[in-house]
Amino acid sequence: MTHVHATARSAPQGPPGGEIYRLALPNTSSAAKLSRDFVASLLTISRHRGLVDDARLCVTEVVTNAHRHTRTSLIRVRVTVRRRQVTVSVADDDHWALPEPPAFREVCEREGGRGLLIVEQLALAWGMTVLGGSFPYRKAVWFTLARARPTP
């Protein structure tokens, strides 16, 4: 595994434990909606209702990028639900189509390209991982959202 870009907290896997859910979707225009509904359902039943809106927005942006900018046949969504945080990973089979981290000035001057900037603002951490070592075969863009700790 090779990390291509990551925020300060770079590990897509957090502490051990938690529940893992997976969804494989054909690369169609409905992939974003299906993944958004999948993640929202998981977070609602796992008592992470406070993260649902941010998760829906982030997963929509990442899946839409995979749909628009790759030729992958499948988009794979993996959700790891833990007590205080949720990590969502979206993988595609086009390892060469790596998204570039957003530069705020460039994004403000364009119509599109705000998706990863939104993820950057909402997520505790996010990044990209190329899977397959010296023979990469897949990449994953992931983000972690966390519930606020209660104040004492």
Q: Which of 97, 96, 114 is nearest to 105 (CA)?
A: 114
Q: What is the pLDDT of residue 130?
A: 80
Judged against a pLDDT cut of 60, whether residue 83 lies above it is answered with yes
User: Which of 151, 16, 147 minimizes the C-alpha distance to 85?
Assistant: 147
Burial string for 7-26 (b: 16+ CB within 10 Å, else e) reads eeeeebebeeebeeeebebe
Kindly report the average pLDDT of the chain as a whole number: 80
Is position 122 within any domain? Answer: yes
Instruction: Give the structural domain span for 29.
Output: 2-146
| Integer Cα distance of 108 and 98 in angstroms | 21
**How far, in Å, CA of 65 to CA of 89, rounded?**
13
pLDDT at position 11: 40
Is the residue at 87 inside a domain? yes
Q: How far apart are alpha carbons 59 and 65 in whole angstroms?
A: 10
CATH assignment of the domain containing 43: 3.30.565.10
Number of domains in the chain: 1
Within-domain flag for 152:
no
pLDDT-derived band at 9 (thresholds 50, 70, 90) equals very low
| pLDDT tens digits for range 47-72 | 899 999 999 999 999 999 999 988 88
Residue 114: partners with Cβ closer than 8 Å, 6 or more residues away: 102, 107
Q: Is residue 15 part of a domain?
A: yes
Identify the three-state secondary structure at position 75.
strand
Give tens-digit pLDDT for 108-128: 445 556 778 899 999 999 998
